């Protein structure tokens, strides 16, 4: 949530910052702002709305020159989205300027104390409290900005990524993080700051990712200084070479990032298992699993913690791991897990799933599991992310940047990784026959071809979208492995089209949701030939007898459901266990086209953020 960009160097800062903010629009936001400094003049422009609105306003309000600056896209927490609450925020003196991601939980008592000391506040934000706290400490202790930031952060409770500028020290920026990601790009005589590396990927391939409770003083023509906030110890910067490239974060001719990412799935699934899956020789090699194989095989149970789409991938994994390797699995919302005093032991394996690797609730669940002695394994997409560093071991999905807020390729690549883990454990434990083991390996290897074939449902998805774009509600039904796919399909529709949708196990329809069905209710039924086909057919008949509009996802060549359904989407046949990788494709396309036809902002749905870095 929110986006941070900073620049200090020899270039004009404005175009770097604006382009960087545009790159971070996928994170979700409701306002934007920029600060530029030039010739003793500190210039701020900010507005409710999009980065394009900021560009228009800044060109009228301020001169755009200056080689140091910071920019921000805000997702509202404290205070409604408006011009005043937008970032950057200035201190009372006007000397300090700050941008901030996260939440300062104890801002109210800090604000009262500052008011008692004569400070006034223009906004409703916790961020304005923080910048004035830094100013008060700087004045009172007569210290430099970096030290003042450190002392102030030792007084706050919450999560943050911040960049602070001091007009009295115009050749430096101070950055810090706790629970919210922050990257520093190292250029030739210049530095960049970003919530991730996308704002500066075209300028440098070298970056430092700040760890929790670290602060960095970024100065022109001087080495970067990183210190621990708690004890002031110095930290040697670890420079990483970025794996991103500019082409990956552009739309590549597609109208939206979401559509691009849907169509990338055949290739990224292949990238996920490339070098790990050797079907002909019956080998699955994943170092994070192999190095800890006894932890997995001796586990009393596997706990999966995740949020949103990643939680749905975890539900699919529950079916697959229990079926293949016969280890009990529980899937938990990370947001609930840490607050219900869960029973965790050293014989548990916790798998944490997150596309961004920065999800605040999932990170908190990881820390709790580690405190209880569990072995924690991460599944995430972003190299160098917090989850990849906090877990004992893990596996990257190698999906490439996912810019669209509504996850698509994250879901299928997460399932791919989790399926490989299940198969490897099954091989070690002997819970699958050799013939079944080889069959699943070979099927998984050709899944990209079947996903490519499933993408041919694009036109029928568009046709169905035309019919149901004005629906008020929608029901998704699936059984077994495809129940989580029904949940995911409903989530996609909700996220990007704002149509109310619910996913249910098909058999549960009779236990309440059937009351909703009438001639206006579209019901998407996932009914591949494999699995509980006859039972799902019975559910379809129950819908039809109540005049519901049936959209059925079926195996190519199906005749029985075709006679009952109003619309049929055909997909290639695969095994029941691997079917979620195929059945989800037409549901993604259907949601996409409904949202487009409704005029929704597909890549940046209202109120949503790509990476949820606050609780």
The catalytic residues are: 2, 610
Tokens (6 digits) for 467: 């019919």
**SS3 state at 336:** helix
Smallest CA-to-CA distance from 484 within 584, 571, 551 is with 584
How far apart (Å, rounded) are the C-alpha atoms in residues 505 and 494? 18
**SS3 state at 165:** strand
Tokens (6 digits) for 407: 């996850």
Neighbours of 61 (CB within 10 A): 14
Tokens (6 digits) for 99: 């941008």
**SS3 state at 11:** coil
Burial 149-176 (b: 16+ CB within 10 A, else e): bbbbbeebebbbbbbbbbbebbebbbbb
Tokens (6 digits) for 223: 């080495």
Tokens (6 digits) for 24: 């971070």
Compute φ and ψ for 173, nearest 5 degrees: -125, 145
Q: CA 274, 277, 283, 287: dihedral to nearest 10 degrees?
A: 60
238 and 226 Cβ atoms separated by less than 8 Å:
no
Compute φ and ψ for 438, nearest 5 degrees: -65, -35
H or E stretch covering 567 = strand 567-571
| Residue 248 DSSP one-character state | G
How far apart (Å, rounded) are the C-alpha atoms in residues 191 and 187? 6
Indicate the burial class of 148 (C-beta count within 10 angstroms; 0-12, 13-18, 19 or more).
Answer: buried
Neighbours of 534 (CB within 10 A): 8
The per-residue DSSP string of 66-78 comes to -SEEEEEEE--SS
Rg of the chain over Cα atoms, rounded to whole angstroms, equals: 26
Q: Which residues contact 555 (CB under 8 A, 6 or more apart)?
A: 528, 529, 530, 570, 571, 572, 573
Taken as a whole, the chain contains a residue count of 615
In which residue are the tokens 């003793």 written?
Answer: 40
Strand partners, 159: 103
**SS3 state at 254:** coil
Indicate the burial class of 323 (C-beta count within 10 angstroms; 0-12, 13-18, 19 or more).
Answer: middle
Indicate the burial class of 515 (C-beta count within 10 angstroms; 0-12, 13-18, 19 or more).
Answer: exposed
């Amino acid at each position: 949530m929110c986006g941070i960009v900073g620049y200090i160097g020899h270039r004009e800062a404005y175009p770097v910052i604006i382009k960087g903010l545009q790159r971070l629009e996928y994170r979700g936001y409701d306002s934007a702002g920029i600060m530029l400094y030039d010739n003793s003049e500190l210039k701020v422009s900010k507005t409710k709305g999009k980065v394009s609105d900021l560009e228009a306003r800044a060109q009228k309000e301020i001169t755009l020159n200056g080689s140091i600056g910071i920019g921000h896209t805000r997702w509202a927490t404290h205070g409604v989205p408006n011009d005043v609450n937008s970032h950057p925020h200035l201190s009372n003196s006007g000397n300090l300027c700050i941008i901030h991601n996260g939440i300062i939980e104890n801002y109210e008592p800090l604000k009262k104390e500052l008011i008692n000391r004569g400070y006034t506040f223009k906004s409703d934000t916790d961020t304005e409290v923080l910048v004035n706290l830094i100013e008060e400490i700087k004045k009172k202790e007569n210290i430099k900005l970096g030290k003042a930031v450190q002392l102030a952060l030792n007084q706050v409770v919450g999560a943050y990524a911040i960049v602070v500028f001091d007009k009295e020290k115009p050749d430096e920026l101070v950055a810090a993080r706790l629970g919210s990601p922050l990257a520093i790009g190292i250029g030739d005589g210049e530095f960049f700051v970003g919530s991730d590396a996308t704002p500066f990927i075209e300028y440098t391939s070298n970056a430092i990712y700040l760890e929790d409770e670290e602060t960095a003083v970024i100065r022109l023509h001087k080495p970067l200084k990183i210190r621990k906030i708690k004890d002031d110890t110095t930290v040697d910067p670890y420079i990483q070479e970025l794996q991103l490239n500019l082409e990956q974060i552009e739309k590549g001719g597609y109208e939206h990032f979401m559509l691009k990412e849907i169509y990338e799935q055949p290739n990224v699934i292949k990238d996920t298992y490339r070098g790990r899956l050797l079907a002909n020789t019956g080998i699955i090699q994943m170092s994070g699993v192999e190095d800890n194989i006894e932890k997995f095989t001796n586990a009393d149970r596997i706990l999966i913690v995740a949020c949103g789409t990643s939680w749905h991938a975890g539900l699919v994994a529950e079916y697959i791991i229990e079926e293949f390797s016969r280890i009990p699995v529980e899937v938990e919302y990370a947001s609930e897990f840490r607050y219900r005093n869960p029973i965790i032991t050293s014989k548990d394996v916790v798998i944490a799933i997150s596309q961004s690797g920065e999800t605040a609730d999932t990170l908190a669940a990881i820390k709790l599991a580690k405190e209880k002695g569990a072995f924690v394994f991460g599944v995430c997409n972003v190299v160098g992310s917090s989850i990849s560093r906090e877990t004992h071991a893990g596996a990257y999905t190698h999906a490439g940047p996912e810019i669209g807020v509504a996850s698509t390729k994250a879901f299928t690549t997460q399932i791919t990784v989790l399926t490989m883990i299940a198969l490897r454990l099954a091989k070690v434990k002997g819970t699958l026959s050799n013939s079944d083991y080889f069959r699943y390996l070979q099927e998984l290897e050709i899944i990209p071809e079947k996903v490519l074939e499933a993408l041919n449902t694009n036109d029928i998805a568009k046709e169905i979208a035309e019919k149901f774009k004005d629906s008020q509600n929608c029901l998704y039904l699936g059984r077994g492995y495809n129940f989580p796919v029904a949940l995911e399909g409903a989530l996609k529709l909700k996220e990007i089209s704002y149509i109310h949708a619910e996913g249910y196990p098909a058999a549960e329809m009779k236990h309440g949701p059937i009351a909703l069905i009438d001639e206006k209710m579209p019901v998407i039924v996932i009914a591949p030939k494999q699995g509980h086909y006859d039972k799902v057919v019975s559910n379809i008949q129950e819908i039809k007898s109540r005049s519901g509009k049936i959209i059925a996802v079926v195996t190519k060549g199906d005749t029985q459901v075709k006679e009952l359904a109003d619309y049929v989407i055909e997909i290639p046949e695969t095994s029941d266990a691997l079917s979620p990788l195929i059945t989800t494709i037409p549901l993604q396309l259907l949601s996409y086209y409904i949202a487009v036809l409704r005029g929704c902002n597909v890549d940046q749905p209202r109120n949503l953020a790509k990476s949820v870095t606050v609780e």
